[in-house]
Structure 1
Amino acid sequence: MKKNRSETGAACDGTPPAAGAGPLGLVAGGGQFPLLCARAARARGREVVAVAHRGETDPALADEVSRIEWVHLGQLGRLLRFLREAGAREVQFAGTITKKRIFRDVRPDLRALNLWNRIDRRLDDGILRAVADELAAEGIEVVPSTLYLEDLLAPAGVLTRRRPTREQWDDIRFGWNIAKEIGRLDIGQCLVVKDRAVLAVEAIEGTDETIRRGGRLAHGGAVVVKILKPGQDTRFDLPALGLRTVETMAEVKAAVLALEAGRALFFDRRAVVQRADRLGIVIVGLKGDEWT
């Protein structure tokens, strides 16, 4: 078990611990977000202890935290025991989990099986809320993944040089309203449309595959809408945009990405916008109260 940070919670530069003294737990999936969360918390004087998922989490996370525990997907009892023994009373969820793995690569322990059998609707938000309840029963509070990273939230407005055409604005509005209705059912966060026709709805396959599926049907010019589901627990699983999203759109010649300002994570913003400009892709951040 690697220890490479102060166990007292003091940052390397002497910054005093932030509000919420004690170690911050981090339940980490894939991608760069867990690393960013760990660095931001440390910069605010928090010690960070992490539960990392084999086959998902970047091994580099070990260098960003004081303690790390590697688990297989489904080892809920082990996750809870580690956080409890590490003294974490607050925990963040950050990073992606490949949802299709639940049918082929999950190793549930007894705690996870008991929880799974109590969940009636095995949809994203319902599962995460149930896990949060298990943590709460252990005296551990789930805090927002953006606790120290609010600057990662997408801004409002047209973010690229190219602006949507009138027809694309029509598709954005059409897709936005339908995506919100699909979101109420906790199915997915992403919708692909063209000429006010729905081409693809995100399910368990994830955003990239949804974009590919809808984009191929569109034969170019698709509009991708990614929203926060109504009633979604904003502590975890916020919609996210990064370079891979734009590259996937380029594969199928999709034209527009619309996301919810202030309620979606926007990674590597400058690089993404520059890449979108080179590809001729429009990115726009929308305020929800303007589109309901």
Structure 2
Amino acid sequence: MNQVRRLTQSGECLENGRDSDLVIPIMGPTGSGKSSFIRALLNDLASPGPEVSNGINSCTSVVQHYFFEPKSKSLQAKINGRRVVLVDTPGFDDTNASDLEILRRIAVWLTASYGGQMKVAGIIYIYPIFPGRYTHNDRTNVKVFKKLCGNNGIKWVTFATSRWDQEEAIEALEGKGVFTTREGQLHSHWKDMLASGATSGRLAKTNSPRGKYSAHSLLEEVITKGLENKAKEDEFAGVMVALQEQIVKKKRNLPKTAAARELKKKLDVLMREYNSLGDNETVRQKTRAIVGQLDELKISLGGRIKLFLLGNS
């Protein structure tokens, strides 16, 4: 647990966790609808509830957890008295914190909560179906997310594309089939994870015959799938994601985890891009910020040899 203590600051984890808790991290880029999703589930009863981003500036800069009490009789029967813990996480490219700091905060919560033995029931990655294109940053952020989950965690991921309630209005302006075309493009970007067992769903304000899920229905699907992962009859097994396993079980420092090494690749590319833009104060500020993160991600020669011998697991 030394690696966990080194990462942790006070107030950054859930205390008094139960082995039976169904923990579901909600992840995705800034403005994708993570906090809105949680607020819809909590019916604004959380005290305080999560702030909702305007799509430009992030509201969730720290990892926050909420206890969800389902009103659905079917879901109540499935969870059988277990607590459902929703974990609202900040997205990479956050306006208030560096990517490395975001990764550290996520690592802290995953590794320090439940005495380091926390198991997730599922992971929801929310991404807006519209507008915009799938950028290089989007691709690299999903690569970091994939490394964070690891091979064992990927099949418990649900990609939830948000804003499907806007389909009719947007397609009246942009043309019929824009959303389904966009969905197909996103699925092609996520095809490796979908092929490994991850699923996808359309997130809207209400259910519809066209396969759209409300927040409540989507969460029930995720929990139902998670409860199928059993250690033995009627005993929830859950899964320890790779980032958590590498820090807690393999005693790695954060820079030596697969997710951090993937993040370093992203920062290396950004550094080259900024260096090509010429010399001005804005570029210098951005470059200094990246240099600071890269310095923290440096691994000694001995550490690199050890990682090579251990592989990427």
Whether these two folds match at TM > 0.5 is no
More strand by share: 1
The higher relative CO (CA closer than 8 Å, separation ≥ 6) is in 2
Q: Give the alignment's TM-score, normalised by structure 1.
A: 0.33
